[in-house]
Amino acid sequence: MPREVDGMSLLMETEGMGVRPSLDGCIKCTICESACPYAAVTERFPGPKTVGPQEERFRHGPLSADWSVDYCSGCGICSRVCPQDVRIAEINSRARAQLKEQRGIPLRDQLLARPDVMGRLGRPIRPLFNWAMGTPLVRFPVERVIGIHRKAAVPTVAPRTFQQWARRHPRRPAQDRVVYFHGCSTNYFEPRLGRMVVAVLEHQGLAVEIPQQGCCGLPLQSNGNFPAARTYATRLARQLRSAPSEVPVIASSTSCALMLKREAREILGVEDPALVDVSQRTYDIFEYLRDLHEQGRLKTDFVPVELTVAYHAPCQQQNQLIGKPALDVLALVPGLKLVELDRDCCGVGGTYGIKREKYEISMAVGAGLFSDIKHTAPDLVLCDSETCRWHIAKATGFPVIHPLELLHRAYGGH
């Protein structure tokens, strides 16, 4: 079986810019190994230099045999720190997909890969689902049979989806329009967040369009199902093109934003024109608000918020290479005491940390962050990524919210 290179990606490869050829840059400096939070805590993961540029030289399609690459969480820290621009996390991601293709994807990973399906199935039996997931008696067999760790945080399904709310939400006419890409988690598990995003954007005088939209395919990608992930990403990009091409697309889920901005193209190699177009005008919500502020267009009619909050920037957000825009914007809120938690990763890695065999690793990775939080003892913890919020809340017992919720409160919302 040949490697997947076609069209644009082939050109990239021959120009030495593709994912695999980037391994040529590795000079073994070991910087990535020192930075990888996962290799630091488990013997099962040999580290980014090893599974990335080194093992890649020995991979040969379906014959490849280094299962330990499955212990890479895909957090992307290695790619960010490599001074030689080796696309380590991307190499690993492709290798994982190849291995899964050979071995078959376990039922659990198929489930975790489809939050939209879980959300849809969970909703009609919501009380049962939510009760079951909160009950140790049920979680034991779930761990045994499905492989989701009994202590791992799982979200609760909301009574009404965000889309149901959005369909009835009156559209406010305005000259400047934005498209809101809410993601699956907002739709099924945290519709509250979506409503606040709309409120904050409308407060800026913007018309918010909320097209019907599916999953971005990221969980499929990280669970190794590339073909389905490509289909999802492309379909989503087409749905988000409901508005004309200059309208920005605003995302409140960091991982989904990263998928649209970079990963669908760089890891999955999707070159669909709709995706290319959308990827170039997708913004993280705080990235967009910070831009507004820089243009002097952000409303600053804040009420003081007398709270101490600790902010954790999730890795997918840092991989967007936009700094920490939530900190920049929240710094405008009077009364707020902002503590930056300077840790790379909370350990959950999307769906990584809820898997039975990886839960302990995930907790060990997050240990530093958790103890920082306990020392800071904030009123609230802020984090832009949903899976990270659930994980941190479960591990520390502190309330964890999206920074946008806090901003919403600062604008006087409840």
Partner 1 sequence: MTEALECQLLVIGGGSTGAGVAWDAALRGFQVILADRGDLATGTAGRFHGLLHSGGRYVVRDPAGARECARENVILRRVASAAIEDTGGLFVTTPLDDLDYADRFLAACPAAEVPVEEISPAEALRREPRLTPAVRRAFAVRDGSIDSWKLIWSCARGAEQLGARILPYHPVTAILRDGDRVTGARLHDLRSGDELDVRAECVINAAGAWSGRVAQMAGCEVAVRPGKGVMVAINHRLANCVVNRCHMTGDGDIVVPSHSVSVIGTTDTPVEDPDDIEATAEEVASMMAAGDVLLPGFSRSRALRVWSGARPLLPKTAAAVGDDREVSRSHAVIRHAQRDALGGLISIAGGKLTTFRLMAKDTVDAACAELGVEKSCTTAETPLPGSTGSNYYRLPDHQADFEKGRADNPMICECELVSQADLLEAARVHPKGQIDDLRRVLRVGMGPCQGGFCAFRIAGLLHGHGAYDRTEANATLRAFVQERWKGQRRVLWGQQLRQARLDTWIFQGVLDIEHLPT
What is the number of other CB atoms lying within 10 angstroms of the CB of residue 255? 27
The partner in contact with residue 184, picked from partner 1, ligand SF4, none with C-beta cut-offs of 5 to 8 angstroms by kind, is ligand SF4
Q: Which residues contact 46 (CB under 8 A, 6 or more apart)?
A: 39, 68
Q: How many residues are listed for the chain in this entry?
A: 414
Q: State the minimum distance, in angstroms, from the CB of residue 216 to ligand SF4.
A: 4
Q: State the minimum distance, in angstroms, from the CB of residue 229 to partner 1.
A: 20
For 313-333, letters b (16+ CB in 10 Å) and e give: bbbbbbbbebebbbbbbbeeb
Alpha-carbon distance of 266 to 246, in angstroms, equals: 23
**Helix and strand element counts for the chain (H, E):** 24, 8
The partner in contact with residue 3, picked from ligand SF4, partner 1, none with C-beta cut-offs of 5 to 8 angstroms by kind, is partner 1
For ligand SF4, the binding residues (CB under 6 A) are 26-32, 36, 38-39, 48-49, 52-53, 72-78, 82, 84, 86, 88-89, 92, 115, 183-185, 215-216, 218-219, 253, 255-256, 259
Residue with smaller CB distance to ligand SF4, 31 or 207: 31
The partner in contact with residue 32, picked from ligand SF4, partner 1, none with C-beta cut-offs of 5 to 8 angstroms by kind, is ligand SF4
The partner in contact with residue 67, picked from ligand SF4, partner 1, none with C-beta cut-offs of 5 to 8 angstroms by kind, is partner 1
Element at 400 (helix H, strand E):
strand 400-401
Q: What is the dihedral of CA 89, 95, 101, 102, to 10 degrees?
A: -150
Q: State the minimum distance, in angstroms, from the CB of residue 174 to ligand SF4.
A: 26
Q: Which residues contact 348 (CB under 8 A, 6 or more apart)?
A: 153, 354, 362, 366, 387, 388, 390, 391
Residue with smaller CB distance to ligand SF4, 46 or 378: 46
Cα–Cα distance list, 401 to 7, 309, 383 (Å):
42, 10, 6
Residue with smaller CB distance to ligand SF4, 77 or 333: 77
Q: State the minimum distance, in angstroms, from the CB of residue 58 to ligand SF4.
A: 16
The partner in contact with residue 82, picked from ligand SF4, partner 1, none with C-beta cut-offs of 5 to 8 angstroms by kind, is ligand SF4
The partner in contact with residue 10, picked from ligand SF4, partner 1, none with C-beta cut-offs of 5 to 8 angstroms by kind, is partner 1
Q: State the minimum distance, in angstroms, from the CB of residue 144 to ligand SF4.
A: 26
Residue with smaller CB distance to ligand SF4, 89 or 406: 89
Alpha-carbon distance of 343 to 366, in angstroms, equals: 9
Alpha-carbon distance of 154 to 139, in angstroms, equals: 11
Residue with smaller CB distance to ligand SF4, 238 or 409: 238
Q: State the minimum distance, in angstroms, from the CB of residue 11 to partner 1.
A: 9
For partner 1, the binding residues (CB under 8 A) are 2-6, 10, 13-16, 20-21, 23-29, 43-44, 46, 49-50, 53-61, 63-68, 84
Residue with smaller CB distance to partner 1, 27 or 321: 27
The partner in contact with residue 384, picked from partner 1, ligand SF4, none with C-beta cut-offs of 5 to 8 angstroms by kind, is none
Residue with smaller CB distance to ligand SF4, 77 or 111: 77
Q: Which residues are registered as beta bridge partners of 400?
A: 381
Residue with smaller CB distance to ligand SF4, 83 or 304: 83
Q: State the minimum distance, in angstroms, from the CB of residue 81 to ligand SF4.
A: 6
The partner in contact with residue 54, picked from partner 1, ligand SF4, none with C-beta cut-offs of 5 to 8 angstroms by kind, is partner 1
Q: Which residues contact 185 (CB under 8 A, 6 or more apart)?
A: 115, 155, 253, 386, 387
Cα–Cα distance list, 33 to 238, 317, 401 (Å):
39, 21, 31
Q: Most distant CA pair in the chain: distance in Å?
A: 61
CA 19 distance to own-chain centroid? 21
CA angle 70, 361, 383 (to 5 degrees): 100
Q: State the minimum distance, in angstroms, from the CB of residue 408 to ligand SF4.
A: 20
Q: State the minimum distance, in angstroms, from the CB of residue 63 to partner 1.
A: 5
Q: What is the DSSP letter of 354?
A: G
Residue with smaller CB distance to partner 1, 85 or 176: 85
Q: Both tokens of residue 180?
A: 């809101």
Residue with smaller CB distance to partner 1, 49 or 402: 49
